[in-house]
Chains A and B, each alone.
Chain A
Amino acid sequence: MSGNTKTFGLALIVVVALACLPFGVSGYVLGLLTLAYYFGVFAMSWDLLFGFAGEVNFGPSFLIGVGAYTAGLLNHYPHWPIWACVVTGAVASVIAGLMLAVPALRLRGPYFGLVTLVAVLLLQNLIVLYAGITGGEIGLDLPDVLSIDEANNYWIALCFMSVSGACLFGLSRSAVGLILQASGQDAVQAAALGFNVTKHKLAAFCVSALFSGLAGAMLIFYEGTASPGTVVDIAVGVQVIIAAVLGGRRTILGAALGAIFLIVAGEILRPLGQLSTFVVSAVALLVILFFPGGFLGLLSRSGRG
């Protein structure tokens, strides 16, 4: 318990420090971090599913995209208020996640991953196919935005990431998290202890979908537009996965760290032009090859040593 309290205290200090940033840094940096925070939530949601439930979801952007586009369409057409759009988007994401997971959880190994990947491709195709409604590749512009003030946007995103992170981290350390971890590690043994493994994995999928959907919906209201390139494309999902692995699997908080690193590093390397993605991927590959525990793995090891 003391370890958890320490982590919590440390996280609180970091969040407070981050909250002071708008008084010192440019709007450009704030915008960047705002994006990174939403990505952080994507990555944390993914880590709950992979790191704890042991299921590799190759299509996190399916859950993100469903949430984002549901919210976007409801705002663009019937002009629902933002909060209603975001909530409905999250609910839609959970429903879509359930429809995907109920049959898919029967599958093992690469097949579960493949089905989640195909779900992304189908969603992307649908959006392009009904471009008249969805705006297609170009995207769907939204009449409402969260805020036009950069600092406000930043605080909303930080607050959202902190709350989501606290929920997901708390869940992972809770009694349910313990069962989930046991189910992910050895389903046979967990079942022999009396736990309904499928139920717990489904629940994890729903929670992951809920936060992914919320974050996806919030993200588009920050950007003022929803496009496949930012919330659906496989590349988005890949980035989420890389962020989580980079930060350290099974840590939840590491995923957020990885996401912030990816976005910020990509931006710092922007002068390299197209090569920036190359360098970020190369760094991520090197970390995976030589420090499979990720950033947090490195930290905890040096802390112990």
Chain B
Amino acid sequence: MPDLLEVSGLTKRFGGLVAVRDMHFTIAPGEILGLIGPNGSGKSTVMKLIMGIERPNAGSVRIDGVEVAGLASHQIARMGVGIVFQHSRPLHRQTVLENIKLALLPDSLLRLFTASHIEDRARAIAARVHLDHVIDRLPGTLPFADLRRLELARAVARNPKVVLVDEPFAGLTSTEVADFSNLIASFRAEGHAVLLVDHNVRGVAALVDQVLAMYLGERIAEGSAEQVMRDEKVRQVYLGGAIQAASRPAPPSGGRTTLLDVENLSVFYGKAQALDGVSLSVGVGECVSVVGLNGAGKTTLFNTISGLVPASGAVKFDGKDLRGRTPAQIARAGIVQCPESRELFGDMSVRENLDLGGQHLSRANSTRQLEWLLDLFPILKSRHGQAARTLSGGEQQMLAIARALMMQPRLLILDEPTLGLAPVILEQLSKALETLRQTTDITVLLGEQNVTFALPHADRVYVLEHARFIWEGTPERFAIEAGAQFL
């Protein structure tokens, strides 16, 4: 049978950055392809290119043999492509039924009244995705899983040939995951071509026929779920090869004084639970890693500690409850976060960025700190007059860390420092972190999905999955007890 979706030579550049390079794959009728890759690997961009939300710079996308690359999104939708967005935004003043009906309406300015067959069809779709019992409710009153069902219903309403699903299981409980898997499998049974986009193989392994792994905009492996999980390159990207344990001298006996104490933290984003009763403690001078895949809740945890996200539960720093303090007060108190998104001042120079970090210090102190940091990250010295925006990804990451260190933090939070960086940069970054750890008594909380990067720098490790800690222990034990779960 001819393929329903054929992608070849697909390339997308954003300014100088190549987000997707020469991507090619096909999906046959009744086939499910899993497109996986860590954050920033370009997998979401591939999906947007197919849907026409972004226009490709080169390459071809064929739906059932018809070229659609470069067409507008609504035209591609009418050629037979449906997409399930990760974040659904239904019409809030219309009922579930009306929301599904919307997806069935013809793109016409003259149809003022909905035909009765549309109503019947909408009800049938609702029944199929198990929304029939809430059909007359407003979306705002639905639980999270039902909102995802609604999004699914709208995407398949027009019976598209190709269905794209972005992170199908994010934020769902295990029963809901099973339910959704059955729904998606039923699309396959009907002969649709399905593309599932997700962070890791494990989440979609049971469902997919083929897996394609991406990293930094390029395909690195293709095959069955087992093949891809065994693939050397994939292991390199996710685990960095063999897992090595830490080498820091053991802490003095008698344990450490607790610096940060997080108790029973829960966070909701609307209806989705991002953290579920998480507790953690970090001792003075300790380096603790929180490993987990994207979407597990690492960033939410750190933002909660930094006071950026409201939560239930308690965060105590140095014995004092941080409730009611502004994020800036918390930062000045010594908890400094170097976020995943880096948050540099792009149009300002490296030096200006660093100076802003040191503004709360006395001038002499700030100068001393600056000198020390320029020794730690020599590359920043040679770039000091350059605008932060023009630095490479690795240099930007070093600048972000250095800027956070300018504040002389008592606790440094590093969120995904390796995000989107090439392996050679990781080594430099790793060395700098190790120097930091060996030469100072700094306390670090490191969030990572790259286990190989995280473990050597850790005294203790927490594994975060679906908003909860599922494992805690030393790096040595991690390889034996938790490592296998990590693809």
Q: Are A192 and B51 in contact (CB under 8 A)?
A: yes
Q: Are B105 and A185 in contact (CB under 8 A)?
A: no
Q: How many residues of B contact A (CB 8 A)?
A: 31
Minimum distance in angstroms from A110 CB to a CB of chain B = 21
Q: Quick one: which of A138-172 are within 8 Å of B by CB? A: 170-171
Within the complex, which residue of B77, B93, B94, B111 is in contact with A194, where a contact is CB–CB below 8 Å?
A: B77
Minimum distance in angstroms from B378 CB to a CB of chain A = 42
Check A191/B112 contact, CB under 8 A, given A179-B102, A185-B91. Answer: no
Assess whether B207 is interfacial by the CB under 8 Å rule: no
Q: Are A174 and B112 in contact (CB under 8 A)?
A: yes
Return chain A residues, CB-CB under 8 Å to B77: 191-195
Assess whether B109 is interfacial by the CB under 8 Å rule: yes
Q: Are B107 and A203 in contact (CB under 8 A)?
A: no
Within the complex, which residue of B74, B91, B102 is in contact with A191, where a contact is CB–CB below 8 Å?
A: B74
Q: Are A194 and B107 in contact (CB under 8 A)?
A: yes
Within the complex, which residue of A178, A179, A192, A203 is in contact with B53, where a contact is CB–CB below 8 Å?
A: A192
Q: Are B89 and A178 in contact (CB under 8 A)?
A: no
The residue on B at minimum CB distance from A170 is: B112
Return chain A residues, CB-CB under 8 Å to B157: 193
Minimum distance in angstroms from B109 CB to a CB of chain A = 5
Return chain B residues, CB-CB under 8 Å to A185: 89, 91
Assess whether A125 is interfacial by the CB under 8 Å rule: no
Bound Cα distance from A179 to B94, whole angstroms: 12
Q: Are B113 and A189 in contact (CB under 8 A)?
A: no
Within the complex, which residue of A174, A191, A200, A250 is in contact with B73, where a contact is CB–CB below 8 Å?
A: A191
Q: Are A197 and B112 in contact (CB under 8 A)?
A: no
Bound Cα distance from A186 to B101, whole angstroms: 17
Bound Cα distance from A183 to B151, whole angstroms: 16
Main secondary structure of the interface of A (DSSP, over half): helix
Assess whether A238 is interfacial by the CB under 8 Å rule: no
Q: How many residues of A contact B (CB 8 A)?
A: 25
Assess whether B154 is interfacial by the CB under 8 Å rule: yes
Bound Cα distance from A195 to B51, whole angstroms: 13
Assess whether A298 is interfacial by the CB under 8 Å rule: no
Assess whether B172 is interfacial by the CB under 8 Å rule: no
Return chain B residues, CB-CB under 8 Å to A192: 51, 53, 73-74, 77, 82-83, 85
Q: Are A193 and B102 in contact (CB under 8 A)?
A: yes
Assess whether B332 is interfacial by the CB under 8 Å rule: no
Bound Cα distance from A196 to B74, whole angstroms: 6
Minimum distance in angstroms from A78 CB to a CB of chain B = 33
Assess whether A199 is interfacial by the CB under 8 Å rule: yes
Q: Are A186 and B89 in contact (CB under 8 A)?
A: yes
Q: Are B73 and A188 in contact (CB under 8 A)?
A: yes
Bound Cα distance from A86 to B107, whole angstroms: 31
Bound Cα distance from A132 to B111, whole angstroms: 46
Within the complex, which residue of A176, A182, A197 is in contact with B109, where a contact is CB–CB below 8 Å?
A: A176
Bound Cα distance from A195 to B103, whole angstroms: 9
Bound Cα distance from A200 to B102, whole angstroms: 14
Bound Cα distance from A179 to B78, whole angstroms: 15
Q: Are B78 and A194 in contact (CB under 8 A)?
A: yes
Return chain B residues, CB-CB under 8 Å to A190: 74
Minimum distance in angstroms from A77 CB to a CB of chain B = 35
Minimum distance in angstroms from B10 CB to a CB of chain A = 18
Return chain A residues, CB-CB under 8 Å to B158: 193-194
Return chain B residues, CB-CB under 8 Å to A194: 74, 77-78, 107, 158
Assess whether B98 is interfacial by the CB under 8 Å rule: yes
Return chain A residues, CB-CB under 8 Å to B142: none
Return chain A residues, CB-CB under 8 Å to B72: 191, 196
Return chain B residues, CB-CB under 8 Å to A175: 101, 105, 111-114
Assess whether A61 is interfacial by the CB under 8 Å rule: no
Minimum distance in angstroms from A164 CB to a CB of chain B = 16
Minimum distance in angstroms from B409 CB to a CB of chain A = 37
Within the complex, which residue of A181, A188, A196 is in contact with B107, where a contact is CB–CB below 8 Å?
A: A196
Bound Cα distance from A185 to B94, whole angstroms: 13
Minimum distance in angstroms from A189 CB to a CB of chain B = 6
Return chain A residues, CB-CB under 8 Å to B52: 191
Return chain B residues, CB-CB under 8 Å to A199: 107, 109
Q: Are B103 and A200 in contact (CB under 8 A)?
A: no
Minimum distance in angstroms from B54 CB to a CB of chain A = 10
The residue on A at minimum CB distance from B108 is: A176
Check A197/B105 contact, CB under 8 A, given A171-B112, A189-B85. Answer: no
* Sample of 19 A–B contacts (CB below 8 Å): A171-B112, A175-B111, A176-B109, A176-B111, A176-B112, A178-B91, A178-B102, A181-B91, A181-B94, A191-B52, A192-B73, A192-B82, A192-B85, A193-B157, A195-B105, A196-B107, A199-B107, A199-B109, A200-B109
- Apart from A170-B112, A175-B114, list 8 A-B contacts with CB within 8 A: A174-B112, A175-B101, A176-B110, A185-B91, A192-B77, A192-B82, A194-B78, A199-B109
Q: B residues engaging A (CB < 8 A)?
A: 51-53, 72-74, 77-78, 82-83, 85, 89, 91, 93-94, 98, 101-103, 105, 107-114, 154, 157-158
4 shortest interchain CB distances as A-B pairs: A191-B73, A194-B77, A174-B112, A191-B74
